[in-house]
């Protein structure tokens, strides 16, 4: 649904502030039951009086200026409960995840790609299909990154938000090419197509005529800010395209990215925009976990219960997920994009990875890390008053809290904040294997304008439309380039002279292609920076009229401008300006028809002296005729 803008006034602001106040009060207040023993009558209740007023205040109409989406990979209800029990006790709460006032559940199934079941539900999804669902609104097959079941690319929230002028960010504790961060920036059939060396890229590889690997497409998508792991893939060398033979790191630097790899470098970053986007890669692969591993074993829950220990390999707290989230918000919350707001996706990645490994302490620590990031997002949203925060997961997972040690499955015992033992079991793979995802529905919770859309039972694809509608995004991105124009530094030049063509209004595109004719010369690709791009090139040596055709790679919008190559010493012309007398530089998409006004303007300038001279001759002739008539009178 679309939101109207009439609610931006004082009443709406009051409701937002009231909601923030109630949320803050809820997060610090302690129900009377908390002072009693949980075994007493009412001793375990969580409600502290009537919640109707708080619930009403939490429902705030959209639109929102900003959206922050936080994803706990593999964070099903069981994983949330395991972490809460361990860290805060059974009667406690996670200060971030449990604080969001509007809560629902959503379904997560993927669909089959081919065969007799093509398009039908696949009940247990992977992170690629689920991430594609919320990032594009399209269900797809397991392994697919933001393409439909026929392999057609689907526009992502980061791509759409960027085209609409919002700032964008992508943060993860995984390799930045991993499925969840990848779904916002790439379109491939195989999620393992990390870099140019990946054998699984197939026809998605640049060398095969595709869009390239995930890492290469990430550079093309050009989010304002990207933070995570995965530097290894950027050390690979491009196999095709303009940067063939160069590493992706060298390519990123050549394209204006700010490259950082440590906390000091991140602390020194003061801007993140399209001119100087930030690419921070802090580890070769995934981030180390918060807690050291405690791998489950057969019969393990019968052993002595353990307490999770800090992981000595963990990155410093200045690179924790909370710190990365806070830094990302500070860099995106600026008014240098016309105060249009931002979209930020944040992933706590290794809840899933440690669940796969049957590592209870590992998954607990990563859930706590995500909760701290949620707290940072909520703190900003409550102060800002115009930010929608959504917290959810991509798919459910294996871990279960059990009463007794399973005889054949893997298990471990933990001492919780209550001082009692919690047994956690993993029963979908043998020791050394990878525990499986499960197909249950998931919690989704929200705070802020438009958050009521998550209430009740929805589907993962609904989340895409909830966020796009809250931000009032125009999803027809091609239309955002419909008014594109171009201008030349001069319309008449000598053979081989330097010319610059400047394009503007290509908001719906991320790259442009350019070709000079009549002898076709490919000028290559340029990144579109806030709707603009420039090419500087040498004019052809053949005299005559030539054209430059600029084409948006995403929108297919074509703009054609003409220029004349004249012999040395010929008259020069001033630069063209869009809509000016020397030529408007605009063309119709796909028409192949150049605007002639620039050439006509030039012709008029050249012919004008001859018109003046002709006028003088005509005047002289009239005078002679009159004098002759007087002599014969």
Catalytic residue numbers read 127
Torsion of CA 561, 564, 569, 574, to 10 degrees: -30
Supply 516's token pair: 């000079």
Q: How far is Cα 121 from Cα 171, in angstroms, rounded to an integer?
A: 30
- Sign of the dihedral through C-alpha 596, 597, 602, 606: positive
Per-residue CA distances from 57 to 103, 191, 245, 530 (Å): 14, 42, 57, 38
Q: How far is Cα 84 from Cα 74, in angstroms, rounded to an integer?
A: 16
Per-residue CA distances from 397 to 73, 501, 560 (Å): 9, 54, 54
Q: How far is Cα 228 from Cα 67, in angstroms, rounded to an integer?
A: 20
Give the three-class secondary structure for 487: strand
Q: Tell me how far apart the terminal alpha carbons of the chain are, to the nearest angstrom.
A: 90
Q: How far is Cα 582 from Cα 497, in angstroms, rounded to an integer?
A: 19
CB count in 10 Å sphere of residue 590 = 10
- Residues pairing with 438 in the sheet: 396
Which segments within 342-441 are labelled E, that is strand?
342-348, 387-393, 400-402, 410-415, 421-426
Query: Do 555 and 481 form a contact (C-beta atoms < 8 A)?
Result: yes
Torsion of CA 624, 625, 630, 632, to 10 degrees: 120
Q: How far is Cα 237 from Cα 560, in angstroms, rounded to an integer?
A: 34
Q: How far is Cα 396 from Cα 390, in angstroms, rounded to an integer?
A: 17
Task: Give every CB contact of residue 341 below 8 A, 6+ residues apart in sequence.
Answer: 64, 65, 66, 166, 167, 386, 471
């Amino acid at each position: 649904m679309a939101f109207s803008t009439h609610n931006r006034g004082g009443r709406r602001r009051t409701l937002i502030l009231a909601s923030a106040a109630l949320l803050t009060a809820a997060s610090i207040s302690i129900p009377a039951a908390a002072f009693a023993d949980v075994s007493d009558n009412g001793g375990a209740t969580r409600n502290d009086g009537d919640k109707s007023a708080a619930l009403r205040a939490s429902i705030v109409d959209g639109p929102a200026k900003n959206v922050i989406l936080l994803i706990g990979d593999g964070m099903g209800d069981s994983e949330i409960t395991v972490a809460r029990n361990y860290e805060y006790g059974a009667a406690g709460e996670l200060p971030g995840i449990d604080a969001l006032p509007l809560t629902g559940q959503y379904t997560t199934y993927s669909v089959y790609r081919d065969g007799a079941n093509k398009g039908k539900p696949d009940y247990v999804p992977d992170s690629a299909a689920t991430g594609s669902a919320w990032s594009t609104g399209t269900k797809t097959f397991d392994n697919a990154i933001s393409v439909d079941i026929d392999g057609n690319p689907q526009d992502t929230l980061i791509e759409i938000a960027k085209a609409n002028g919002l700032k964008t960010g992508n943060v993860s504790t995984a390799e930045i090419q991993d499925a969840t961060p990848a779904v916002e920036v790439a379109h491939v059939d195989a999620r393992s197509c990390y870099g140019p060396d990946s054998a699984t890229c197939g026809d998605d590889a640049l060398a095969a005529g595709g869009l390239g690997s995930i890492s290469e497409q990430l550079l093309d998508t050009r989010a304002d800010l990207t933070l995570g792991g995965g530097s290894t893939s950027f050390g690979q060398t491009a196999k095709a395209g303009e940067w063939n033979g160069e590493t992706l790191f060298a390519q990123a630097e050549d394209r204006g990215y700010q490259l950082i790899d440590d906390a000091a470098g991140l602390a020194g970053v003061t801007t993140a925009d399209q001119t100087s986007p930030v690419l921070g890669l802090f580890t070769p692969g995934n981030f180390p976990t918060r807690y050291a591993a405690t791998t489950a074993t057969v019969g393990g829950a019968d052993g002595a219960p353990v307490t999770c220990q800090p992981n000595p390999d963990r990155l410093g707290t200045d690179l924790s997920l909370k710190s990365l989230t806070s830094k990302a918000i500070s860099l995106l919350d600026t008014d240098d994009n016309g105060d249009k707001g931002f979209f930020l996706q944040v992933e706590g990645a290794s809840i899933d990875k440690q669940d796969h490994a049957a590592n209870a302490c590992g998954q607990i620590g990563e859930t706590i890390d995500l909760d701290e990031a949620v707290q940072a997002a909520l703190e900003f949203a409550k102060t800002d008053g115009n930010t929608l925060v959504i917290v959810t997961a991509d798919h459910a997972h294996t871990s279960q809290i059990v009463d007794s040690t399973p005889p054949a499955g893997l298990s471990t015992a933990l001492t919780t904040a209550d001082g009692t033992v919690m047994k956690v079991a993993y029963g979908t793979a043998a020791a050394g294997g990878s525990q499986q995802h499960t197909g249950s529905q998931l919690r989704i919770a929200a705070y802020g304008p438009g958050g009521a859309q998550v209430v009740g039972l929805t589907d993962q694809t609904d989340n895409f439309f909830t966020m796009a509608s809250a931000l009032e995004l125009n999803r027809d991105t091609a239309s955002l380039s419909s008014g594109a124009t171009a201008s030349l530094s001069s319309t008449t030049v000598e053979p081989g002279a330097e010319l610059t063509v400047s394009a503007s209004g290509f908001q719906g595109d991320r790259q442009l292609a350019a070709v000079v004719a009549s002898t076709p010369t490919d000028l290559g690709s340029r990144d579109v920076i806030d709707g603009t791009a420039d090419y500087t090139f040498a004019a052809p040596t053949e005299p005559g009229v030539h054209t430059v055709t600029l084409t948006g790679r995403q929108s297919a919008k074509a703009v054609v401008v003409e220029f004349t190559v004249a012999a040395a010493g010929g008259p020069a012309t001033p630069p063209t300006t869009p809509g000016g007398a020397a030529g408007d530089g605009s063309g119709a998409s796909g028409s192949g028809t150049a605007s002639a006004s620039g050439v006509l303007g030039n012709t008029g300038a050249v012919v004008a002296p001859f018109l003046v001279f002709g006028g003088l001759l005509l005047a002289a002739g009239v005078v002679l005729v009159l004098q002759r008539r007087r002599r014969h009178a």
